[in-house]
Amino acid sequence: MSTPTTGPDGLEGRDPRTVAVLGAGTMGSGIAVVMARALHRTILFDVDEANLQRGLDTVHGFFDKSVERGKLTAPLAAAAKASLVGTTDLADLAASDVVVEAVYEDLALKKELFGALDDLVPDTTLFHTNTSTLSVTGIASGSRLPERVVGTHYCNPAPLMKLVEVADGRHTASWARAATIDFLESLGKTTVVTKDRPGFIVNRFLIPWENSCIRALESGLGTKESIDAAVLGALGHPMGPFRLLDIVGMDIHQQVATRLYEQLRDPRFFPPPMVERMVAAGDLGRKTGRGFYDYDDTRLFGS
């Protein structure tokens, strides 16, 4: 696509692409960090000017923190920041080699964006969707060229988590999948290949797991403390299920679980009644200061 160039500090030989990231929310700005840190020409797009500015600030803030913590040199951080621009105009994405869609989990919106981009970008541009609960095939149907659409599901926080789940839609071409895996691995990500099925791998197993832990709590099998402690000490998990739910947010758990349940009609995915009660009470987890546990500090991941 482009010729290798010489960049600062150890990035010689990189092959900078133009990468558009759609949606400046948590996942979109996290993915923008990943792209800009690899010195790809990164364009963060959001329809809302305020959202966009918040997203750009998040990315810059991440790089500043990385320098403070000695994870990134100041020149590299400056180069990364310089490789990022923001826009609210889809037309500015015309030169994109890769588009990563990370807007709201709204099928119509995602399809519409891919359809609109079809008319702006070259036919060889890869379309990646970061959907976690919708079908890759469904989203791909918004493009005239569904063969170029690949599911690439990042984990939150995207800049820190190495895993990306890669899933083909029904019409994804093998070239698009292969190019996607090469691209993700060049970013330092570890890819796993899965199917376009609800929840891919991680959420497919996480959601029933968390639900079963909530049911165990509801049925008096243990307390939140004893279940967290037992899981931590017996299974080698980094944190117990209720600490994790407090970080994820009960609203997010409810949303993901419900969407998976709607597609699978498997009761293991349905959020137990306690979830709805907690959401109604505003006990969403760390972000509201109270979930299963109480928190003095509502910041996540030290950001």
Partner 1 sequence: MTTTTTELRHVGVLGLGTMGAGIAQVLAASGRDVTVLEQDGARIAAGRARLEASLDRDVARGRTTEAERAAVLERVWCTSSLVDLAPVDLVVESVSEDLAVKRAVLDRVAATVAPDVPIVTNTSALSVTELATGLPGPERFAGLHFFNPAPAMRTVEVVPGLRTTPELVERLVALVESLADKIAVVVKDRPGFLVNSLLLPYLNDVVQELDDDLATAEDIDVALQLGLGYRTGPLAMLDLIGLDVHLQATTALHAATADPRYAPPPLLRQMVADGRLGDKSGDGFRTHPSPAASPRPVSPHDRSPA
Binding positions for partner 1, rule: CB under 8 A: 155, 161-163, 165, 174, 177-178, 181, 190, 192-195, 197, 200-202, 204-206, 208-209, 212-213, 216, 220-222, 226-227, 229-239, 268
State in angstroms the smallest separation of the CB of 111 from partner 1: 25
Q: Whose Cβ is closer to partner 1: residue 55's or residue 271's? A: 271
In contact, 75 and 103? CB cutoff 8 Å: no
Q: Whose Cβ is closer to partner 1: residue 26's or residue 73's? A: 26
State in angstroms the smallest separation of the CB of 106 from partner 1: 24
Q: Whose Cβ is closer to partner 1: residue 53's or residue 194's? A: 194
Q: Are strands 163-168 and 149-154 parallel, antiparallel or unpaired?
A: antiparallel
Q: Whose Cβ is closer to partner 1: residue 6's or residue 219's? A: 219
Which own/partner contact pairs does 189-194 have at CB distance under 8 Å and 24+ positions apart? 189/34, 189/162, 189/163, 189/164, 190/162, 190/163, 190/164, 191/163, 191/164, 191/165, 191/166, 192/163, 192/164, 192/165, 192/166, 193/166, 193/167, 194/165, 194/166, 194/167
CA distance 179 to 183: 6
In contact, 133 and 55? CB cutoff 8 Å: no
Rg, Å, the chain Cα set = 20
State in angstroms the smallest separation of the CB of 200 from partner 1: 8
DSSP string, 49-100: HHHHHHHHHHHHHHHHHHHHTTSS-HHHHHHHHHTEEEES-GGGGTT-SEEE
Residues with catalytic function: 132, 153, 165, 203
Q: Retrieve residue 167's tokens.
A: 């899933």
State in angstroms the smallest separation of the CB of 18 from partner 1: 26
State in angstroms the smallest separation of the CB of 225 from partner 1: 9
